[in-house]
Amino acid sequence: MQGRAVPDDLSGTQLAAAIRVSALAEELGSHPHPLSASPMQAIARLHVAAAAGLIDDAQVGRPRIGAELPRDLSGLPPAPAAEAAAARLRGLAELLGSDAKHSALLTAAIAHGEILAIRPFVLGNGLVARAVFRILLVSGGVDPSGVIVPEAAFLADAVGYGQAAAQYTSGADVPGWVASCARAVTDGAGEGSTIADAVLAGKLPQI
């Protein structure tokens, strides 16, 4: 996207948000344990990148409060009320900040699923969830060079992605959700290889 114009409309605002989130995820992923020291702060930063210009400034960078409801991911089972969502988000932060050793892929999948399930923010939950997934894959050593593109796999099977997320949200099939995330990593590795080959062949610019 470097040097390209962004449309001056809602689609352009959404595209700019996605670019900001990707850039921040890359920055955070380059640091050791980026989500363990201050997980809530890092998630809030991701939300600022994801939601700025799309919702009221007072709602940016903080979890839902009062009677606020999420305005995205409507295909999932109902999200918990704001107070319950905030408590569950704190639980996720405790998991991310824990010294306990877990599989990096498992931790990334659970964090991804938790943010989709609780939808702690008014808007931008999907972008934040996938960014956290990517950051944990990179910092956890699954994808240390950051070349895997799991987002491409989620996009290629958007229906399956939504169904797996709904199964996680309802608690009906947590292992199935983890497996779907693992498949996205495998498929995303193939997409990353394709992009790398295109760069080497001169079809994409080297940044």
* Structural domain count, the chain: 1
Contact of 72 with 119, CB cutoff 8 Å? yes
Could you tell me if residue 206 is inside a domain?
no
Interhelix angle 82-97/39-51, rounded to 10 degrees, is 120
Could you tell me if residue 35 is inside a domain?
yes
The two three-digit tokens of residue 52, written as one number:
């700025």
Could you tell me if residue 205 is inside a domain?
no
Note down the domain range covering 91: 10-200
Could you tell me if residue 167 is inside a domain?
yes
> What does the CA dihedral 52, 55, 60, 63 come to, rounded to 10 degrees?
-140
pLDDT of residue 3: 61
pLDDT of residue 142: 93
Which residue blocks in 98-173 are alpha helix, DSSP H? 104-118, 125-139, 150-156, 158-170
pLDDT of residue 207: 54
Could you tell me if residue 123 is inside a domain?
yes
Could you tell me if residue 3 is inside a domain?
no
* CATH number of the domain to which 73 belongs: 1.10.3290.10
pLDDT by residue for the chain (207 residues), tens only, comes to 556 676 777 777 788 888 999 999 999 988 878 888 899 999 999 999 999 989 999 999 999 999 999 999 999 999 999 999 999 999 999 999 887 778 999 999 999 999 999 999 999 999 999 999 999 999 999 999 889 999 999 999 999 999 999 999 999 999 999 999 999 999 999 887 887 777 777 776 655
Could you tell me if residue 23 is inside a domain?
yes
For the whole prediction, is pTM greater than 0.85?
yes
Residues near 35 by Cβ (< 8 Å), separated by ≥ 6?
A: 28, 42, 43, 96, 97, 111, 132, 135, 136, 139
Question: Read out DSSP for 42-110?
Answer: HHHHHHHHHHTTTS-GGGTTS---TT----S-TTSSPPPPHHHHHHHHHHHHHHHH------HHHHHHH
Nearest to 155 by CA among 132, 175, 178, 127: 127
Could you tell me if residue 118 is inside a domain?
yes
pLDDT of residue 4: 65
